Amino acid sequence: MTLLVAILFAPAVLAQPNAGNYPEKPIRLVVPFAAGGALDVVGRILGQKLTESWGRQILIDNRLGAAGNIGAEFVARAPSDGYTLLMSSVTTQAISMSLLSRPPYDFARDYAPVTMAASAPLALTTHATLPARSVKEFIALAKARPGELNYFSSGTGSGTHLAAEIFDQMAGIKTLHVPYKGGAQGVSDLLSGQLQFAFSTIGLALPHVQSGRLRMLGVGSTKRYARLPDLPTVAESVKGYEAEQWYGVVAPANTPPVIVNKLAGEIKAIVAQLDVRERFYSQGIEPASATPAEFAGVIKANVEKYSRIIKQLGLRQD
């Protein structure tokens, strides 16, 4: 009887992947937004370090479109073997689930959360010629010119879009949304004066702020950004306002826990490296980490949060 049980279960045991052998070939890391944005920056830093650690190439695959949904859906349909991963964000893992009437994927069904890697507050950033030097002055200007001030986002339904929509509602103003496929493209038009403002990641805007072409009026985090202590929070003028992105790695559902845990442990070690942390901070990004279970909890909480916000705003996308 013992021998029969051993024979019956042997194929299942043999089918289990060996963490010691993973990875045995290159890994595709899908970034669902354009190169140059914060999510892409985090993905490329992690990819470089994972390549160095494991001696296997990490291929960065920028799959653009539909506010990150094209790349996210691609990974949701990929084999559950650890060789196709997604650089995820609050947009792909939380906002889309509530914004779309028929989302192409479901967080709980289609993904195995691996770990959070970083977070980044969004900053209210304007063209330097705009006659507003504070959040309160910007609100006053927008009220005097309803529907005239336009802003870019990384796509309809993206975190940068929701940040502006929530700001409009809380500040009692009306501005015009211009969706792009990525933040870097939007900044280019903001610099040219075609756009007047945006809720941008600090790293994307800071070089242009330092050159005098753009101006940061406030940061969307609940407390002031440590590297820019003189920059007020938006919440100091609009009580309760918050706009922050997080970035992490997810795998297709049913990816074996042994692989998920190996990835999570390696990424946690990478994020703890001093040079990685400094590279993050230089881009306005803060290092972060979480176990797979903790990251799943963060995503679940964000799904619930944005479901309430999107319902309150009356937003819906087919």
Q: Say yes or no to pLDDT of 263 above 50.
A: yes
| Prediction pTM value | 0.80
**Structural domain ending residue among the three candidates 236, 264, 295:** 236
Cα–Cα distances in angstroms (integers) from residue 48 to residues 44, 59, 248, in the given order: 6, 9, 16
Q: Say yes or no to pLDDT of 124 above 90.
A: yes
138 in the same domain as 112: no
**Which residue from 98, 24, 104 is spatially nearest to 313, judged by alpha carbons?**
98
Q: Dump pLDDT digits (tens) for 288-309.
A: 999 999 999 999 999 898 888 8
Q: Which domain holds residue 153?
A: 121-236
Note whether residue 287 is domain-resident: yes
Q: Dump pLDDT digits (tens) for 129-181.
A: 999 999 999 999 999 999 999 999 987 778 899 999 999 999 999 999 999 87
**Token pair for 61:** 């695959």
Note whether residue 16 is domain-resident: no
Note whether residue 36 is domain-resident: yes
- The dihedral built from the CA positions of residue 281, 115, 45 and 188, taken in this order, carries a sign that is negative
110 in the same domain as 36: yes
Q: Dump pLDDT digits (tens) for 206-234.
A: 999 999 999 999 999 999 998 899 999 99
125 in the same domain as 232: yes
Quote the Cα angle for 207-39-268, to 5°.
110
Alpha helix locations (H) across the chain? 2-15, 38-54, 69-76, 90, 96-99, 107-110, 135-144, 159-171, 183-192, 202-210, 257-271, 274-282, 292-313
Query: Kind and range of the H or E element at 249?
Result: strand 244-252
129 in the same domain as 225: yes
**Band of pLDDT at residue 106, cut at 50, 70 and 90:** confident
Number of Cβ within a 10 Å radius of residue 241: 20
pLDDT given at position 38: 85
pLDDT given at position 2: 43
